[in-house]
Amino acid sequence: MDPWTALDARHARVADRAIATLFDDPGRAGDFSTTLRSDPLGEMLLDYSKTNIDAETRAALLDLARAQGLEARRDAMFAGQRINETEDRAVLHTALRDLDGSVTVDGQDVIPQVHRTLARMETFARDLRDGRIRGAAGRITDVVNIGIGGSDLGPAMAVQALAPYCDGPRCHFVSNVDGAHIHDTLKGLHPETTLVVVASKTFTTTETMTNARTARDWMMRGGDPARQFVALSSALDRTTAFGIDPGRVFPFEDWVGGRYSVWGPIGLSLMIAIGPERFRAFLAGAAAMDAHFREAPFSQNLPVLLALVGIWHAQICGYPTRAVLPYDQRLARLPAYLQQLEMESNGKHVAMDGDALIRDCGPIVWGEPGTNGQHAFMQLVHQGTRIVPCEFLLAARGHEPALTHHHRLLVANCLAQSEALMRGRSLAEARERLAGRFEGAELDRQAAHRVFPGNRPSTTLIYPQLTPETLGAIIALYEHRVFVEGTILRINSFDQWGVELGKELAAALVPVLEGKATDEGSDGSTRQLLAYLRSHGDLA
């Protein structure tokens, strides 16, 4: 029996089993959790015991990973082989944090260039933070990072996450081509004391370059664009034409995908915010997770186990979504970051050989920080008709020692949510709680509204504290989880052709909106919408 068939058969046998009954085994929690121990990280615990995965199911999932060639593909990625087959590229974001290693691409060790770029970034960040790089009217107080997708979500999420360590200029992020975004960001800043970082590998991304030109016009009111613009791009001809000093251009290689790029030049705004030493700690945390992913047996490997839990829930149990719930306010942007990481990577309908997938692709990823979600969407998660696997993230320690009572309440809520999802509340328990308040049919009616189906799975990741090292490890954990799931599904996780069609159609519509072309090639709905906007909006 092949591993997929074995897992389907296993699910058919256990689908109606209550997860809570698995804890009749007193060793359940320990057997279905694993810990990463590392000098830069301390300890990180992944508990997946509140799922319907038992020893037999886990063994079948591990067999599936091996059968799909996970070990060989993992080693090929780290070795610099061109595993991004549709674009004929290596996949080496891990090299950006492998500062002691050696990785060869096309016969050349890429690590020395990684070191040189990192050193340039560090020199620039130190000079800016120390006031040696200045604006038109003195010290730089604010940095505006203009990018979109991976050129925005990574550094924006990381700067917010590491707020306790941000002692450099204030960092702001602009991504949306909606003029409101750049307008609202710039209106409180001063051109003469602001640095603008334009992040686009090709320097042609429509949203980014539109915002960059608007920022340059704004800068002319009192700043000096020649001194106060930086580019994160490999298109030196275009950055020069834009007016950016070549000495302030930080390129990166085509083997770094956008959503995996926060470790290199795209992370410059983060480095400016927290300083080069802490940025290196961020890299070290990711490198520790890389080493764990490469060296730990699959049965104790955090990325592998997290991925196998995801495969079980999405492809075997058929749960279409996954909620990421960080009980850590500073990780508020992590669910959005993981949305891109996972859905752009594994949101595909064909396998690497071009054939249609035989299983569903990766799930819809969404979430918000706790405890906010408890007063919003957790109603559906607890009592709705669909099962939503949840992934809780929690720090053992906060950064506010004077507010430990807040952290105790946060921890209590996080642990209670996962327990409630699993345990639920039966009709008999609900009736007992309401006895004396209602009788007869009304008691039954009221009790029905207080039933929690339970048997809803979750995982919990506990880390010591949200430090640069920890954040690096968490991001790397999810990067590798996406890679493992993609490998098992035989998806190329490193291209993103799905973003192209909408871009092409948008480019064709711009001349129509400018009155330079007709809408003859558009469908009836689009023509109607265009006509309505011309008559009711500001497009005339």
Is the pLDDT reported for residue 164 higher than 70? yes
Task: Say whether both 519 and 432 belong to one domain.
Answer: no
Same domain, 240 and 143: yes
CA–CA gap between residue 367 and residue 322 (Å, rounded): 8
The answer on pLDDT for 99 being more than 90 is: no
Q: Are 258 and 149 contacting, i.e. CB atoms less than 8 angstroms apart? A: yes
E strands, 62-102, are none
CA dist., res. 228 & res. 212, Å (int): 12
Q: Tell me which of 29-33, 119-123, 494-498 is least confident.
A: 494-498
CATH number, domain containing residue 518: 1.10.1390
For residue 220, is it within any domain? yes
For residue 451, the surrounding DSSP H or E stretch is none
pLDDT for the residue numbered 540:
59
> What is the spatial distance between Cα 97 and Cα 132, in angstroms, rounded to a whole number?
27
Reported as a single tens digit per residue, the pLDDT across 415-458 is 999 999 999 999 999 999 999 999 999 999 999 999 999 999 99
Q: What is the pTM of this model?
A: 0.96
Q: What mean pLDDT comes out for the span 80-98?
A: 95
- Among 289, 237, 305, which residue's Cα sits nearest to residue 59? 305
Cα distance between residue 446 and residue 439, in whole Å = 10
**188 & 247 share domain:** yes
Interatomic CA distance for residues 49 and 43, integer angstroms = 18
Q: Is 122 a catalytic residue?
A: no
**284 domain-assigned:** no
**What is the reported pLDDT for 219?**
96
What is the domain extent for residue 507? 500-536
Q: Are residues 161 and 262 in the same domain?
A: yes
- Hey, how many other C-beta atoms are within 10 angstroms of the C-beta on 420? 18
Q: Is residue 176 part of a domain?
A: yes
Number of Cβ within a 10 Å radius of residue 416:
11
Residue 91 corresponds to which amino acid?
V
Q: Are both 195 and 140 inside the same structural domain?
A: yes
Distance CA 182, CA 197 (A): 13
Selection from 476, 124, 53 nearest residue 289 by Cα: 476
Whether residue 54 is predicted with pLDDT greater than 70 in this model: the reply is: yes
Per the structure block, which two tokens stand in for 427? 């009709």
CATH number of the domain bearing residue 172: 3.40.50.10490
pLDDT average, residue stretch 93-117: 93
- Mark out the alpha helices in 229-267 (DSSP H runs): 236-242
Nearest to 158 by CA among 480, 525, 433, 476: 476
Note whether 151 and 233 are same-domain residues: yes
* Together in a domain, 446 and 532: no
pLDDT at 177: 97
Instruction: Check 192, 207, 344, 479 and give the catalytic one.
Output: 344
Same domain, 254 and 172: yes
pLDDT of residue 199: 97
The 3-state DSSP class for residue 494 equals coil
Peptide bond into 94 cis (omega under 30): no
User: Is residue 217 situated within a structural domain?
Assistant: yes
Q: pLDDT band at residue 480, thresholds of 50, 70 and 90? A: very high
Is 71 inside any structural domain? no
**Residue 247's CB: how many other CB atoms inside 10 A?**
9
Tokens matching residue 146: 């203009």
Could you identify the residue written with the tokens 């613009």?
A: 229
**How many other C-beta atoms lie within 10 A of the C-beta of residue 461?**
21
Answer whether residue 99 is part of any domain: yes
**CA atoms of 242 and 205, how far apart (whole Å):** 14
Q: Are the CB atoms for 306 and 481 separated by under 8 Å?
A: yes
Has residue 44 been placed in a domain? no
pLDDT in the model for residue 334: 98
Query: Domains in the chain: how many in total?
Result: 3
* 536 band by pLDDT with thresholds 50, 70 and 90: confident
Which of 253, 279, 305 is the last residue before a domain boundary? 279
Looking at 279, 296, 326, the residue that finishes a domain is 279
Q: What is the mean pLDDT of residues 135-151?
A: 96
- Asked whether residue 200 is domain-assigned, the answer is yes
How far apart CA 321 and CA 365 sit, in angstroms, is: 6
Query: Are residues 270 and 337 in contact, defined by beta-carbon separation less than 8 angstroms?
Result: no
Write down the pLDDT at residue 513. Answer: 87
Is a pLDDT exceeding 80 seen at residue 114? yes
CA distance 248 to 250: 6
Are 429 and 531 part of one and the same domain? no
Q: 167 and 239, same structural domain? A: yes
Q: Which are the contacts of 50, defined by CB distance < 8 A and separation ≥ 6?
A: 19, 418, 419, 421, 422, 457, 458, 459, 460
C-alpha 253/C-alpha 272 separation (Å) is: 21
Strand 458-463 versus strand 390-395 pairing type: parallel
Q: Is 485 a catalytic residue?
A: no
Boundary of a domain, candidates 214, 249, 279:
279
- The one catalytic residue in 187, 295, 375, 504 is 375
Q: What percent of the chain has pLDDT over 70?
A: 100
For the chain, the average pLDDT equals: 96
344 classed as catalytic: yes
| Residues 369-425 pLDDT 10s | 999 999 999 999 999 999 999 999 999 999 999 999 999 999 999 999 999 999 999
Query: Taking the chain, what is the end-to-end CA distance rounded to the nearest angstrom?
Result: 65
Catalytic residue, candidates 183, 349, 406, 503: 503
Convert the pLDDT of each residue in 172-197 to its tens digit. Answer: 999 999 999 999 999 999 999 999 99
Give DSSP secondary structure letters for 40-72: TTEEEEEE--SSS--HHHHHHHHHHHHHTTHHH
pLDDT tens digits, one per residue of 282-339: 999 999 999 999 999 999 999 999 999 999 999 999 999 999 999 999 999 999 999 9
Flag whether pLDDT at 459 surpasses 70.
yes
Query: Cα 417–421–425 angle (5° rounding)?
Result: 110
What pLDDT band is residue 515 in, cutting at 50, 70 and 90?
confident
Clarify whether residues 125 and 227 are in a common domain.
yes
Is 176 found in the same domain as 113? yes
Give CA separation, 78 vs 73, 96, 290, 483, in Å.
9, 11, 9, 12
